[in-house]
Amino acid sequence: MEITYTTSAPLKSSADLLAIPVYGDPAADTFVKAVDEALGGRLLAQAATESFKGKAGQSCIAYPGDALPCGAIALIGGGDKKTTNAASRNIGAYAYKVGRRLKAENVALVLPAYTARTADSVGQMVAEGTILGSYKFSKYLSDKKAAEQPVASITIHGDRHVGKKSKKGGAPRTLKASVNRGASIAAATCHARDMVNEPAEFLNPTEVGNIAKAIAKKHASVSVKVLGEKECEKLGMTMFLAVGRGSDRESKLIHMTYKPAKKAKKVITFVGKGVTFDSGGYSLKPSGAMVDMKIDMSGCAAVVSSMDAIATIGSPYEIHVITACCENLVSGKAYLLGDVLTSMDGTSVEITNTDAEGRLTLGDALTYAQQKTKPDELFDFATLTGACMVALGGHTAGVFSNDEKLAKAWLKSADNAGEDMWRLPLTKKLKSQLKSPIADMRNSGERWGGAITAGLFLEHFIKDTAWVHVDLAGPASVSRESGSTMRGGTGFAVATIVEHATR
């Protein structure tokens, strides 16, 4: 689907569908009233007949006949009058879905009301939503017609205006760049969704390396190296290699690097958990809990896919993406309960739960990241604990940090990106749960505070680096469609990573 931006008058559009976002009462919207006047009062009459109140996801269809050149008009409900970034993104998704329902090949979408201050975010979010709302993982559907997406193009009209106008009196010049930015972020998010939704049979550690190489091939500013098991063994990454020992597929550590054209202002490193399938090992998951464990590389998908958007948009920072990829399976070679593993930084760890494997791979990956990239800021992303879902539900990621300033900056980026994250504490009293009688620490604690003890385990491997840990177990995958979020892998965290890396 093609996304374009124009400053031409939307009422002159000959698109199959003209989509108009409405927050609350449509009669209070000046643009809607102008369209209604052109239609001789038929639009608001139709809205009244259908009890259209501008609620999120509501739509009202009217046909202008000869009054306007477009084929149909749709009022798209945005919800509360206060326009949030997430609500603007959903507007784009709703507009696409109405167009699909009406079998419109091309849609003209008027931006929601914006001010000079909010123009850029509104343009970006609506563009993101149109693409994210069209997402469908149809690779394995035999019915190709069911997989088809009828909307071929969406044109975003930016001349709707509220508040201070630009010098020329029209839409701000930056709107086009904002729409393009949104399209780049959405494309990276859809790429991450594809990675998460791909069956583990095909999305394995070697294939992740191939994907990273393909992204690097697109951008002169990006390079990649892939380390095999022998190279990781020389580095002392015993914890990471132990998790993948039960698989016949070789574990891989992927390291992507983005270098800006000018001297980098700072170095930011993003680490993603890359367990491409998690059986739980000898702490075997029940079938119902294992069936979706292809999603256990959602952190990896987020960081790898983000690099494409970062390189497309550009960043003043040197960016590193690292993911230690493996499969946690059961075999005669698999690591065992009671084993003691020595990490890359020399810490000995007693294994009390082979299903607490993500923190083992991340522990070594975080050590590698600090030694090899020397970051000013270090982030990790992981579907790490069910406990975080118990604490925050299925839509919110848990954020842990050892640095107040960085934590605030990251949460601000999340807010700007329209992604739901909430900070949780690294309660030091709970660290006693990780004590071991035979090693420096154990890899799992008690049931209570499980997300926190996982964070405390990771913090042990952080030296003097400002660090943020994001537990995205809840929002990484969803079971039902909502707004711009489709069923399956969500690509969560891509938008915030790109926001933080490029602003």
State the Cα angle at 444 between 438 and 445, rounded to 5°.
95
Other Cβ atoms less than 10 A from the Cβ of 160: the count is: 19
**DSSP states of 237-254 as a string?**
-HHHHHHTTTSSSPPEEE
Determine the Cα–Cα distance for residues 239 and 221; give it in Å rounded to an integer: 32
176's CB contacts (< 8 A; 6+ apart) are: 5, 123, 158
Q: How far apart are CA 433 and CA 446, in angstroms?
A: 6
Q: Both tokens of residue 436?
A: 């071991």
Do the Cβ atoms of 273 and 380 come closer than 8 Å? yes
Helix (H) or strand (E) holding 181: helix 174-197
Burial environment of residue 302 by CB neighbours within 10 A (0 to 12, 13 to 18, 19 or more): buried
| β-strand pairing of 318-328 with 252-258 | antiparallel
**Residue partners of 48: CB distance under 8 A and separation at least 6:** none
Residues with catalytic function: 285, 359
- The answer to whether 21 touches 54, Cβ cutoff 8 Å, is no
